Chains A and B, each alone.
Chain A
């Protein structure tokens, strides 16, 4: 994947614990891949979003809360090994453990250690604690792989209490006008976060794709706010009084139009910018993200004290150039991550 090798690159390439290959991030010493996008023998999985885990791998290793997601999304008969956070296993001499990434329930950074060399692949992460996902923990390492979804200084999130206060205002305004509040959110992650943030503010009705994931979490012992699954029998008057959460695939669909004066809102980091808000055909946009913002990315990277930082999916070129300018050796890497939206299942 990399071009213009220097001598130093050559040394890194042969000594480094991980390589970027056409199938994904590869650890040669342990002979496993992290979040591969092509089928491999052993896929270590950071989290359950479909751009980070594909079907067709012979074996999977993931956090114990991610298992039900993989079974739900990829099929029941998978060979899945699970780990709790911080428990170390050894694969051909490589010590491997999972560290909370704070992105969505079950999301993990992969910490690898071999002969004193430590490498952390963070997948997707956010640093703010959302009340439902185990909080991100920075790990000291030599090599850090970071996303850059919101790697521009225009992306600075407001504290989430403020965002939720705005969402609640919007919902209560809709109630005054007898409108049905419909929030679109990824089934995995944003949906549970909204449930938590809006808990007690009205009955929360969720689309079946969200309800299915929630059931998996409840089975695994996760504490989730109470929600009601939407079925063909659910009455429109109930939905109008409550709060409706659906996955993005449904946002333009016919179903929403059948509701009583629906008002739709998109909750996503892209809503930070006016153009992003107007681009959506929604009535409102709230900048609520499960990814780190600009200060979050910088603080996370600095906390690792890494000697070398690889930047994947997002504003890779810009963010990497900036890191080099502030004295953090960095390089951008092309991966196939970062298409959560288009990959979101249409169920």
Chain B
């Protein structure tokens, strides 16, 4: 467990991807072979059943540390993580254990079904034999929830480096069905439990944001314009009768979208589509918030399938009849893509992302203004003769997003963040004026620099009304410009409306609280968008 604790510390102390990968490679070179599959399972979110409830764990920790419960709660608000709070608050260990990670995990699994007295004896004994760092890990093992800033992609890159097996093969292997107790590390990454040959995705071609006027791009007739969709970028692969759906994060998400499984029967072998996974209802693309209900779920129920049906808007063809098309110009790829989609028997679920017809840049700019009505984020511009590049390359593909709405608000509540942001007031609630009153319209926790967050934090500490608990009411004094993507009626909010994707655009130090927007301003905006 010590070696794993060391890995976690290394991962946490660096924010550079290369350092983290190096730490992971070292770990997989040095760690106990039996531990490794468990670590991979943990990092990829394969969660064992939780053997003890959070409430009990907390109760026992409070009891053992001999402090009042309210003080535990205050401590928790300043740490931002329950496992860590417990690790820090317990009295020092009385003996030291050098048990291995997989042994702890197996023993924890055995606790399922035992009575609380048994569970307590085991947990308390573990706490008493581990130092702070390892206690933290142990508590995380109980919860099974180990978010440590290691993405699947980062893990896979590290495993690829350590083993010299190709990374997309490893991704496919660890995404497959396996149990850490039944497989060796070498078999797991070699993928003996899956057939890795058919799933290869291509690296996505990415676009830069257009920062100048589109006129700088030259002749309009050299360009293809499409709507820019706000969904999940995806690649759909059909080879040798098998269907694979990859997300932009290079994760295999085939199981999450059963609506698209018909493609296994209808797409010809040797086909790779590039496009956007979206929620589409009656031919209309839905807001990202609808699609979100469908993401990262292990199981999907009927209601979710009904409320947020998924479709795929495709805009590129990377492989046709088994041939890699990436060196062909966009115009050719588009033609073949149109043929491929027209041949599908099931219509509407998978559709061509429409081309926006325009003759000059001014008229395209006008069309772009209407993007919001389609739940689109703006316009994509792709050069008709462009190849399908790997990754981001300046010049051939541009995203030309619409500007967000903005509103000036005043901060009225602040809350301490959790995780990385614990110990600082980082989550704010903003209000607009309504007559004499201030009405909450948005919560946001991003958009400030670390230095600004520290400055707000000092303001909150000096001007807070409450003394205990996580939320502070503050003097309405700091003015922030909030950017948002849309506005909708809402019965759940006192303001009667809700902003979509609110975030802090900037801190308006030049403005006073009496210069902020009013609720009427927002109501007018709402009316104008209906």
Contacts and interface: CB of A to CB of B under 8 A. Distances in A.
Interface of A: 152-156, 270, 272-279, 281-285, 315, 317-318, 321-322, 325, 339, 342
Nearest to B86: A154
A275 B68 contact: no
Interface stretch (B150-158, B232-240, B418-426): B418-426
B386 interface: no
Given A270-B423, A275-B422, A153 B458 contact: no
Given A273-B88, A283-B13, A283-B14, A342 B71 contact: no
Nearest to A156: B88
Contact of A285 (B13, B15, B78, B458): B13
Interface string B394-438: 000000000000000000000001011111100000000000000
B12 to A, nearest CB: 6
Given A153-B75, A154-B89, A318-B74, A276 B13 contact: no
A185 B339 CA distance: 67
B78 A153 contact: no
B91 to A, nearest CB: 9
13 contacts: A153-B75, A154-B75, A273-B88, A273-B423, A274-B12, A275-B417, A277-B12, A278-B15, A278-B420, A279-B423, A279-B424, A282-B13, A317-B468
A318 B468 contact: yes
Contacts of A325: 68
A275 B74 contact: no
Contacts of B14: 283
Given A274-B84, A279-B424, A285-B13, A152 B74 contact: yes
Given A153-B71, A274-B84, A275-B421, A281 B15 contact: yes
Given A154-B85, A318-B74, A318-B468, 12 more contacts: A152-B71, A152-B78, A153-B75, A153-B89, A154-B75, A273-B78, A273-B80, A278-B12, A278-B15, A279-B420, A279-B421, A318-B71
Contacts of A272: 88
Contacts of A152: 71, 74-75, 78
Considering residues B15, B88, B458, which has the most beta carbons from chain A within 10 angstroms of its beta carbon?
Answer: B88
B467 interface: yes
B58 to A, nearest CB: 14
A133 B422 CA distance: 32
Given A272-B88, A273-B78, A275-B423, A153 B13 contact: no
Nearest to A284: B13
Contact of B78 (A154, A156, A317, A322): A154
A320 to B, nearest CB: 10
B458 A342 contact: yes
Interface string B77-100: 011110011001100000000000
B450 interface: yes
B65 interface: yes
Contact of A273 (B68, B84, B458, B468): B84
B67 interface: yes
Contacts of B75: 152-154
Contacts of B467: 317-318
Nearest to B419: A275
B385 to A, nearest CB: 42
A272 B78 CA distance: 11
Given A317-B467, A322-B68, A154 B12 contact: no
A284 B9 CA distance: 9
Contact of B79 (A154, A285, A317): A154
A154 B72 CA distance: 9
Interface in B6-20: 12-15
A276 B420 CA distance: 8
Contacts of A342: 458
B134 to A, nearest CB: 14
Contacts of A279: 420-421, 423-424, 450
A272 B88 CA distance: 9
Nearest to B455: A342
Contacts of A156: 88
Contacts of B71: 152-153, 318, 322
A276 B423 contact: yes
Nearest to A336: B462
A275 B85 contact: no
B450 to A, nearest CB: 7
Nearest to A334: B462
A78 to B, nearest CB: 29
A163 B417 CA distance: 28
Given A153-B65, A317-B468, A342-B458, A275 B12 contact: no
Contacts of B70: 321
A155 B85 CA distance: 10
Interface string B302-316: 000000000000000
Contacts of A282: 13
Contacts of B89: 153-154
Contacts of A339: 458
Contacts of B80: 273, 275
B65 to A, nearest CB: 7
A152 B80 CA distance: 14
Nearest to A339: B458
B148 to A, nearest CB: 10
Contacts of A276: 423
B85 A274 contact: no
A153 B12 CA distance: 23
B88 A154 contact: yes
Nearest to B19: A283
Interface centre among B65, B75, B458 (most CB of A within 10 A): B75
A325 B67 CA distance: 11
A265 to B, nearest CB: 9
Contacts of B67: 153
Nearest to A342: B458
Contacts of B421: 275, 279
Interface core residue of A152, A272, A277 (most chain B CB under 10 Å): A152
Contact of B420 (A275, A283, A318): A275
